Amino acid sequence: MNFFDEMLRQDGEPRDSYAQYFKWFHDQDPKTLKRKMVEAEAVFRRTGITFNVYGKKDAAERLIPFDIVPRIIAAQEWQTLSRGIEQRVKAINAFIYDIYHKQDILKAGIVPTELISNNEAFLPQMIGVEPPGKVYTHIVGVDLVRTGPDEFFVLEDNARTPSGVSYMLENRETMLQMFPELFTENKVQRVSNYPNLLRQSLEASAPAACEGSPTVAVLTPGIHNSAYFEHAFLADQMGAELVEGHDIRIENGRVCMRTTQGYSPIDVLYRRVDDDYLDPLNFRPESMLGVPGIMDVYRAGGVTITNAPGTGIADDKAIYSYMPDIVKFYTGETAQLKNVLTWRCSEADSLKYVLEHLDELVVKEVHGSGGYGMLVGPAASKVEISRFRKKLKANPSNYIAQPTLALSTTPILSKSGLAPRHVDLRPFVLVSPNSIDITPGGLTRVAMTKGSLVVNSSQGGGTKDTWVLRA
């Protein structure tokens, strides 16, 4: 399988976007660069940029590997991607609004009704709820992969609680500290204003009950959550309060947090707690992470919850397979970003094909994330394929399958020098009633192991700074 090299052309010369960096790199002392790699790891360790891997015996906090060779995207490429991302995010928000209101897309037969009614991510409690500005997806992560010079595909959508933006910001900060000269030589668009844009976007989504300047808080499950660093980081960067469920109570129809002066109303709650645990009176009664009664206040317009409960329906990988039709239905336009060919295993003919070609395909759980619960057929053993076959037959509607894509590569700094590794990209999108802001670049995740196509940090992947060049 041939892979598109984002840095080098077939003749070994750098592509235009990498030309200046390529020259700089080859003027450097290899020993100095390797020392910088060690320094970068020390910075991340001091800062506390770690994550937990659930289900592992050695579930201690770990560093996500960071590679100092940036991924560089040309200005024109980014402009094309941005248009496609904005179109897709608008369609996703319209889709979520529709399925909790008139359900026109179901009536039109575009998306099967049973795919919604039988979906664990669909929340009946959200039917008829209209958040400020009709925005459900305030923060979206769109996972993209590249297979050629002009070939980008959406791998999946993240509309529930997309994570990773703290790594994007810290990666850039680290590169600025270690290689300031690179940012004077290359016209790199900045990402440092993301926290300010996030705060502005959240404030613009304040509820009607808000009086004066909106109060924003970040709701975290607590220090044992794998993304706790990010929750604390974003709260600090935005100048917002970081709260847990036990810090909050309902008073006079408002969601209020404990302060030194008593309980004070929250207008916008950026929650990083899953739907099931958000309100024990409406969802899991045993939840200790959420706030009893918060959904009643939300439905009454007393608080804005971002992202809105029930947005996880858009993350469903079976719904993903209908995204080109969803984009067309709500925008009247052909989707600018391609979907990956997808077989829905709930359909008999698709299931038959997938079972016959398991060794060639990537099979994923419809609600899976983080690289868990999936089969990468070409890299799996016969025993692993056999076990997965049984799971697939037992519950086919829980899975979709896709071809193994020839993901593009960018180089990492290995012991022997530059070495190509597969990457994906998660741009972050902020949606408010009046604007859509797409951060130039996003989080590049890289498979640190030679030949691996799995880039998730929970599966050993690392990250890179992503440069989008100015025109």
Which tens digits make up the pLDDT trace of 304-331?
999 999 999 999 999 999 999 999 999 9
CB 289 within 8 A of CB 161: no
Residues of the chain with CATH 3.30.1490.270: 343-403
**SS3 call for 105:** helix
Q: What is the pLDDT of residues 52-78, one digit of tens each?
A: 554 444 445 667 889 999 999 999 999
Q: What is the rounded distance in angstroms from the CA atom of residue 35 to the CA atom of residue 41?
A: 10
CB 270 within 8 A of CB 202: yes
Q: How many CB atoms lie within 10 A of CB 12?
A: 7
Q: What is the pLDDT of residue 372?
A: 67
pLDDT of residue 395 exceeding 50: yes
Categorize the per-residue pLDDT at 415 as very low, low, confident or very high, splitting at 50, 70 and 90. Answer: confident
% pLDDT > 70, the chain: 95
Task: Record the tokens describing residue 445, joined without a space.
Answer: 């995740």
In 20-103 the beta strands, taken as DSSP E runs, fall at: 50-51, 62-63, 66-73
Q: What is the pLDDT of residue 90?
A: 98
Question: Minimal CA–CA distance to 326: which of 142, 160, 89, 133?
Answer: 89
Q: What is the rounded distance in angstroms from the CA atom of residue 313 to the CA atom of residue 122?
A: 6
Q: What is the pLDDT of residue 54?
A: 47
Q: What is the pLDDT of residue 51?
A: 57
| The CATH number of the domain covering residues in 343-403 | 3.30.1490.270
Q: What is the pLDDT of residues 192-224, one digit of tens each?
A: 999 999 999 999 999 999 999 999 999 999 998
Q: What is the pLDDT of residue 449?
A: 87
- Which amino acid is located at 361 in the chain? L
Element (DSSP H or E) covering residue 15: none
Q: What is the rounded distance in angstroms from the CA atom of residue 19 to the CA atom of residue 70?
A: 13
Q: What is the pLDDT of residues 356-386, one digit of tens each?
A: 999 999 999 988 765 667 898 888 899 999 9
Q: What dihedral do alpha carbons 298, 302, 307, 311 form, nearest 10°? A: 30
**SS3 call for 403:** strand
Tell me the Ramachandran region of residue 245: left when phi exceeds 0, alpha when psi lies from -120 to 50, beta otherwise: alpha
For residue 149, give every residue at least 6 positions away whose Cβ sits within 8 Å of its Cβ, in sequence order, or none. Answer: 4
pLDDT of residue 13 exceeding 80: yes
Q: What is the pLDDT of residue 117?
A: 92
Q: What is the rounded distance in angstroms from the CA atom of residue 77 to the CA atom of residue 84?
A: 11
pLDDT of residue 461 exceeding 90: no
CB 88 within 8 A of CB 154: yes
Which pTM value belongs to this model? Answer: 0.93
Q: What is the pLDDT of residue 41?
A: 87
**What is the DSSP secondary structure assignment for residue 311, as one 8-state letter?**
G
